[in-house]
Structures are given as structure tokens and as C-alpha cells.
Amino acid sequence: MAADGFQVKIEDGVAICSMSGPNMNAMGTDMVPAMRDGFKSVMEDDGVRVIVLRGEGGNFSSGADLSFMGEKMDPIALRDAMHSVGRIISELHDGPRPVISEVDGWAAGGGFSLALASDITYATDRARFIMSFVRISLITDFAGGYFLARRCGLARAKDLCLSGRAIDAQEALQMGVVNRVLPPEEISAEVLKLAKRMATRPAMVLEMIKHNLNVSDRVDLKTFLELEAHAQSICVMTDAHRQDVAKFLNKESGE
């Protein structure tokens, strides 16, 4: 699947989604609808269990295409565009498939927000992250502030959003913004290895784990325990669980 700067390749249960376009893969009027439709398609594809999001050309994404902003931007059109991007963010965060972002080069503005909307973020040691909105007199959008505060805490999120300063991959790792930092020549293989390992697990199990973790900061302990009990009672009835337990017991007994 390929359309307007957004390509999807499916391999062993993993959908590799690649952004490609001018201005460091800026999300313009062509790319955004293609991304929205592409993510919706792979989230609903029974043959896909994990999604990888990456950028072509040595950068992840510079966020929104600024050539359409400034004096050219109509406020109503902007609001509609933000709603459209909001559906992409919601699809990544709330959708049933785990999403891994592979960040090389710059993840700026909305591109940074996009990486944060994923479930796991790997970065190269030359990656750079910046909440650049304040530099052009805008507030943080694409839910960047929402996710950043949850990843690294409110104080650090305010630092990055209010100052508009850039951070390198090592500082992002120390803050908890990314999960792992790798050399550029190794990251794609490592991300794909992780994605394929996850894709060997039942789609329903991955979906339930993701959902429970997503709501963990919005429910009390009693509710969370009930969510676990409900999900686990379904999982133990599956053939996959029974086969996995049988393999484990056979291994323990030396058979």
C-alpha cells in the first residue's frame, strides 16, 4: 500500500509504515489523509499484529507543513485539519495494535507528538526531539503535551513545551521519552526483531495488555484488578494459552 507520502509494507504480521515527503517528512494536506486511512486499515487488518512507524530520508518528521500556515491559514481550515490529525493520534493510541516508533534524525513539533503517541519508541543516537510550537507562537498540539507529561512527568513536560528547547537521544532516554537508543545502522533491524517477537503473541492478548495499560492512570486499583480478572478469564480459555502452558510444562519435565 502506497499513497501520497505514506507507504505500508506488511511482513510476518508487522505493518511497517513509512512517511516520506519534503521538508523532513512534513505532514501536509496529501500525507495526512493517507496516514489516517493507512492506520485505520492496518488496525483493522487481521493479518497485522504490530505496527512500526518510521520516516524516510534520515528524519522522522518535522510535524505540520508550515508552508500552509501563517497568513495563508484559515482558522476554520486549521481546526478541521487538527481534527483530522487528532483521529490519527487516537488511532495510534487507542487502536488495538501495539505501535513502535523508530526515530532517526529530527522528530519536531507534531512529529515529536506522533512519536509519543506510539506505545514504544526507539531512537538512533543522532535523533533529536523538540516541542517547537512555542517558537512560532503556537501551543503544543497533536496531544504532544498529553503524552509527554505521562512519559516524563509534568515538570519535564513543561520544561520542553514552554522553552522549545531541543534534546538529544541520550537526554530523551534519561527522561523516559524513549525506550532505547541504538546506532543508526542497527535500529531498523532491532525494531523489526522486537515487532516480530511481539507479533508471535495472540492479537487479543496484545490488545488487552495495551488497553489495560492505557487506562491504568484513569482508574482506581479496584477497577484495574477487575479489568485484569475479566481479561485473564478470557485468555485462559484460548488454545494459544493452553499450548503455551503445555510447552512450558513439557520443557520443565525434560520431555
Q: List pLDDT tens digits, range 228-239.
A: 999 999 999 999
Strand 99-103, strand 50-55: pairing? parallel
In angstroms, what CA-CA distances link 167 with 61, 83, 141? 15, 28, 18
At 140-185, the pLDDT tens digits run 999 999 999 999 999 999 999 999 999 999 999 999 999 999 999 9
Query: What b-and-e string marks burial along 147-176, b requiring 16 or more CB atoms within 10 Å of the CB?
Result: bbbebbeeebbebbbeeeeebebebbbebe
Question: Which residue has better confidence, 96 or 65?
Answer: 96
Phi, psi of 143 (to 5 degrees): 65, 20
Cα separation, 57 vs 48, in Å, equals: 25
Model-wide pTM > 0.75: yes
Extract the C-alpha cell encoding 145.
503535551
**17-42: pLDDT as tens digits:** 999 989 999 998 889 999 999 999 99
* Cα–Cα distance for residue pair 245/236, rounded to 1 Å: 10
Contacts 24+ apart (CB under 8 A), 152-159: 152/176, 152/177
Q: Which amino acid is at 157?
A: A
Rounded to 5, what percent of the chain is helix, strand, coil? 55, 20, 25
At position 14, the amino acid (one-letter code) is V
Residue in the block written with cell 502506497: 2
Helix or strand (DSSP H, E) at 52: strand 50-55
